[in-house]
Amino acid sequence: MEASNLFLIAALLVAVACGNSQPPTQDRSTKVRQRIADSFLLSFALRFASSFLQSLTASYSSDTVHRLAILGMLWHVLTCDYSYANGCVKTGLINGSRPIFGGGTFSLNAALFSTTLLVSRIYDNQTVFLFISLSVVVFAFYSTTRHEMAKTHPAHSSVAPWLITVFIIMATLCLILDDLSLATTFLLCSLILGGVCPFWKHSLQHFQVLIKGPWDVAQIVPLV
């Protein structure tokens, strides 16, 4: 087994362990039935769709497909609901049983759009099925786990989010290690976004000034 697969499996095991340690937000048996039904429906749909997904962009050049996929992923990053990812927003329910998707609808659609474009250049049905399944797990299912993990295992007091980040970075480096410039750029961007920017924001907090004025909402003082 390749090293990248081992790192991805390790990240998945950490996420599953953190998810199982959380108090359930709905009945466990109901949640299991829903996940099993969703998995079967998704498997059948992707298995039958994998054969014709390859012909969706037959009239487009590979450069156009790659540029559109990159734009879709950029839109995914820009429209992601980061407040939900950080555990700041409560999840809602539809009809009292099935949770709504809280990771950002536009973000999810952009990620699946890029996935569809990329699989149109894959000529093996089994690889198409596995690639789309992985995309659905990462972009659709993991958002809820990430939200709950941010509430119960915050990064400032738990090592779990850092482990998942390191495992995913290592898995990506294993895949792009042949291109040294690309691997160096990816590693630098990861260090800047995951290390430099958070510490920079924290160091700037003491410059924050709270300005009050007549535009503030008046506070009613109860008469004694």
Q: Which own/partner contact pairs does 115-120 have at CB distance under 8 Å and 24+ positions apart?
A: 115/139, 116/53, 116/56, 117/56, 117/57, 117/65, 117/68, 117/69, 117/72, 118/65, 118/69, 119/50, 119/53, 119/54, 120/53, 120/54, 120/55, 120/56, 120/57, 120/58, 120/65
Q: What is the pLDDT of residue 75?
A: 92
Q: Find where tokens 């048996």 sit.
A: 29
- 215 within a domain of the structure (yes/no): no
- 49 within a domain of the structure (yes/no): yes
* Mean pLDDT, all residues of the chain: 78
- Predicted model pTM: 0.68
Structural domain of 34? 3-157
* Between 164 and 28, residue with greater pLDDT: 164
For residue 25, report the phi and psi dihedrals to the nearest 5 degrees: -90, -10
CA distances from 171 to 163, 176, 183 (A): 12, 9, 11
- 10 Å Cβ neighbour count for 115? 22
Q: Note whether 119 and 54 are within 8 A (CB).
A: yes
Per-residue model confidence as pLDDT tens digits over 43-93:
677 666 666 766 777 788 888 888 999 999 999 988 888 888 777 765 444
- 211 within a domain of the structure (yes/no): no
Say whether pLDDT at 96 is over 60.
no
Q: What is the pLDDT of residue 148?
A: 78
Give the SS3 label for residue 151. helix
- 20 within a domain of the structure (yes/no): yes
- 28 within a domain of the structure (yes/no): yes
> What average pLDDT score do residues 21-47 get?
67
- 175 within a domain of the structure (yes/no): no
Q: What is the pLDDT of residue 223?
A: 67
- The count of structural domains within the chain is 1
Say whether pLDDT at 99 is over 80.
no
